[in-house]
Amino acid sequence: MKILCLLGSPRINGNSSTMAHKFCDILKEKGAEIKYVELNKLNYRGCQACDACKKSYAHCVLKDDLAETLETAKESDVIVLASPIYFGEVTAQLKGFIDRTYSYIVPDYQEKIGKESISRLKPNTRFVMIISQKSGEEILAIDDIYPKYKTLFEMFLGIKEMLLIRGCNLVNEADAINNKELMKQIQLAAMEFIV
Ligand SMILES: Cc1cc2nc3c(=O)[nH]c(=O)nc-3n(C[C@H](O)[C@H](O)[C@H](O)COP(=O)(O)O)c2cc1C
């Protein structure tokens, strides 16, 4: 089983990264092959709305550091999206990747939606969203990005399963690793995750 883990925080030893590693380490013990990508180290642009992926090509035509990762995602069984919440969203680094997944949607998708698959991802690709945030359990509506992305990924990328792992009250880089309850919760979620 191939797992692509996208790290969206600029803090490479920060909370979302720690949480993602904790989750993926267990999956690795279960035999999964993990590829980590530190998005902040790559140079890439957001989607240019050129529609080349709908007209002439079955992939994104931008030739930048994200090109390889976009191809790796197509061959992956599980894609882990790890990010802190920044102003009620994932970081710009992860949002840049998400916008480029527009290239996974087939041409004429508006006519095909709801009738046939419109995604270029593998049919049973699963997503795991790992979120770290400063706000507490009483999650502010603006920070609750999971339902929105779940709906969009189901609708346009054909995702049937998307797991959420959320860490609250995380401010300093080591807060997640020092939160034994959170680490246990992630361990259990990973053990229950079928590889
Ligand atoms: C620019 C910026 C914006 C932020 N916006 C939010 C926010 O809207 N809601 C929130 O709960 N935390 C917010 N935070 C706090 C981070 O989400 C939180 O500290 C997180 O645990 C950091 O994760 P990391 O260690 O993986 O980078 C923000 C932090 C920064 C730097």
CB 85 within 8 A of CB 164: no
**What single string gives the DSSP state of each residue in 43-103?**
---------HHHHT-SS----STHHHHHHHHHT-SEEEEEEE-BTTB--HHHHHHHHHGGG
141: confidence class by pLDDT, cuts 50, 70, 90: confident
Say how far apart CA 41 and CA 127 lie, in whole Å. 22
The domains of the chain, with CATH numbers, are 2-126+133-192 (3.40.50.360)
131 has a pLDDT exceeding 80: yes
pLDDT band at 152 (very low <50, low <70, confident <90, very high): very high
The yes-or-no verdict on residue 175 having pLDDT over 80 is: yes
Instruction: Note the pLDDT of residue 172.
Output: 98
Q: How far is the CA of 109 from the centre of ligand 1 (A)?
A: 35
Q: Chain-wide mean pLDDT for the chain?
A: 97
CA of 114 to the centre of ligand 1 (A): 36
Name every protein residue with a CB atom under 6 angstroms from any ligand 1 atom. Answer: 9, 11, 14-17, 84-88, 132-135, 143, 170-171, 173
User: What is the percentage of the chain residues whose pLDDT exceeds 90?
Assistant: 95
Q: Is the pLDDT confidence value at 139 over 80?
A: no
Q: What is the reported pLDDT for 142?
A: 80
Element housing 26 (H / E):
helix 15-29
